[in-house]
Amino acid sequence: MNALVTGGAGFIGSNIVKQLLEDGHTVTVLDNLLSGFERNISGLDCTFVKGDITKDEDVAKAFSANKIDTVFHLAASVGNKRSIDFPISDSMINVIGTLNVLEHARKNGVKKLVASSSAGIYGELKTLPIKEDHPIEPESPYATSKLGMEKHCLAYGKLYDMEVVCLRYFNVYGPNQRFDAYGNVIPKFVFMLLDGDDINIYGDGNQTRDFINVKDVVQANIKAATTLGATGAYNCASGTQISINDLVAEIDKQGSLKGKVNYVGERLGDVKDSLADVSSAQKAFGFVPEVGLREGLKEYIQWAKQEHLISK
């Protein structure tokens, strides 16, 4: 496989790059390093192109670096809060940037494209566990742009000789996931607690999430890419749920971290509960999540402690 990983210096992308190389594939990375980190892929035997998916010349350069036959499209503007703050740039990256990647994939005869979508497209859940045929009611610019991204990818799969799989990520966590102002809940809590800072829980903390370890996300991406005939949109999750209150308790148990918990008002755009049905992905390309939350948190906290020292 000659693979292009857009956003390959980011959290999920860098983990995919590492596994692809370990499996003996040729890898090109396209990343503008705005949210990715070059050290995530430092020392890896891949071709790195610093560039932006919204710029035609950058995408063209990435495709010309090697004869690309498979694309893992992860480059994106991520998160509800960021999209509410910057809705135009969110859609420029997630929709227009994706179209740029799709056009170059088409022109270069790419046979398989695996795109990173989001469970945010479902909106507030009406049934649990959630299946892929659940009503689509995005409640933020981010969720809306990811839905647009997904629809464009699937349309290209139907129009051209390209197998396309869209993976609807639920809450992904694991090594190389850092915390910023728009970060997801696990890195946010872990890094703040490592600093001894208090953490804020929105609402009463009884809201639930389906957390999936990045190793399982990597597995889903590679199986989707290498399974002949696999196409369509699929949930990518653990198929389990935990409340935010119980998550904090587990983080404390695993890490003996400092800081206290404060409860604040509910946050605009957040859903109350989340739980996925992943049986469709299992049937389509053999995806079975393997990493339990306790095991995954232990590994992540160990990584975060080391990263915390580096960043100081």
One pLDDT digit (tens) per residue for the chain, 312 residues: 999 999 999 999 999 999 999 999 999 999 999 999 999 999 999 999 999 999 999 999 999 988 999 999 999 988 777 888 889 999 999 999 999 999 999 999 999 999 999 999 998 888 999 999 999 999 899 999 999 999 999 999 999 999 999 999 999 999 999 876 546 889 999 998 888 889 999 999 999 999 999 999 999 999 999 999 999 999 999 999 999 999 999 998 887 667 788 999 887 767 788 899 999 999 999 999 999 999 999 999 999 998 876 655
The residues annotated as belonging to the active site are 142
Q: Where are the alpha helices (DSSP H) in 172-291?
A: 185-194, 214-226, 244-255, 279-285
Confidence at residue 258, expressed as pLDDT on a 0 to 100 scale: 72
N residues, the chain: 312
Q: Which of 132, 145, 218, 111 is nearest to 175 (CA)?
A: 218
Domains of the chain, by residue range, sit at 2-173+212-237+270-290
CA distance 112 to 79: 26
Confidence at residue 254, expressed as pLDDT on a 0 to 100 scale: 80
Confidence at residue 183, expressed as pLDDT on a 0 to 100 scale: 63
How deeply is 40 buried, as exposed, middle or buried, from its count of CB atoms within 10 A (0-12, 13-18, 19+)?
A: buried
CA distance 65 to 3: 11
> Who contacts 136 (Cβ-Cβ below 8 Å, separation ≥6)?
121, 122, 123, 147
Q: Burial code of 140-170, b = ≥16 C-beta within 10 A, e = fewer?
A: bbbbbbbbbbbbbbbebbeeeebbbbbbbbb
CA distance 133 to 153: 18
Backbone CA torsion sign across 106, 108, 114, 120:
negative
> Who contacts 300 (Cβ-Cβ below 8 Å, separation ≥6)?
173, 174, 175, 177, 186, 190
- Is the separation of the CB atoms in 50 and 31 below 8 Å? yes
Confidence at residue 211, expressed as pLDDT on a 0 to 100 scale: 97
Confidence at residue 309, expressed as pLDDT on a 0 to 100 scale: 67
CA distance 307 to 312: 9
Q: Tell me, what amino acid is at 204?
A: D
Q: Which of 152, 144, 98 is nearest to 122 (CA)?
A: 144
> Who contacts 17 (Cβ-Cβ below 8 Å, separation ≥6)?
5, 8, 27, 29, 41, 44, 46
What is the topology classification, in CATH, of domain 2-173+212-237+270-290? Rossmann fold (3.40.50)
